[in-house]
Amino acid sequence: MDRRVAEDLIDGQLSWPQLKEILFHPKDPERFQVVMDILRERLGWKEPVLLPLAEHLYVVQKGSERVVRCDCGFEFGDCRENWKTKARVFVRNDESLLLEIYPQMMHSDPEWMELREFYCPGCFALLEVEAVPPGYPVLFDFEPDIDGFYEWLGLPLPSSAGD
């Protein structure tokens, strides 16, 4: 993939016909590398970035540890643990709170479902929203198998050689 196209893809600047073209075709083998190069360059961290995890969040090789880090620099700790346990949470579980973001009559029933907004303690960016029944355990989105992934890609794991 062309580097400029990849940048527009990351920034959400592609038109629907362009995006559709990409979706319809098999992923080109270099895509991950191209995207990672852009992300690494933009973040400018000295530790190697292993994987983008979610919007704003990345898995970074820090010494022997693999940690989840927000693009503001805040660290959530080991990527095998749920980063949400370190995040700030705001729960919308009554009508007045839901009406802050929904028009009248258009929101869910707070008895049945609540919205949990997870914010980064460092920059207060909204990282994720869970829509779950009240009392439901906090979701652990996934634990990435990073070694397996790189093996599958046929790429070497980025080392800390640049340190």
The minimum distance between CB 145 and other proteins, in angstroms, equals 17
End-to-end CA distance of the chain: 29
The answer to whether residues 38 and 3 touch, using CB atoms and an 8 Å cutoff, is: yes
Give the nearer residue to other proteins in terms of CB position, either 14 or 49: 14
The minimum distance between CB 118 and other proteins, in angstroms, equals 24
28 binds other proteins (CB under 8 A): yes
The minimum distance between CB 126 and other proteins, in angstroms, equals 23
The minimum distance between CB 15 and other proteins, in angstroms, equals 9
Within 8 A by CB and 6+ apart from 37, the residues are: 3
Within 8 A by CB and 6+ apart from 120, the residues are: 56, 70, 72, 74, 87, 88, 127
Q: What are phi and psi of 33, to 5 degrees?
A: -65, -45
Binding pattern to other proteins, positions 6-25, x when CB under 8 A?
----------x---x--xxx
26 binds other proteins (CB under 8 A): yes
The binding site for other proteins (CB under 8 A) comprises 16, 20, 23-29
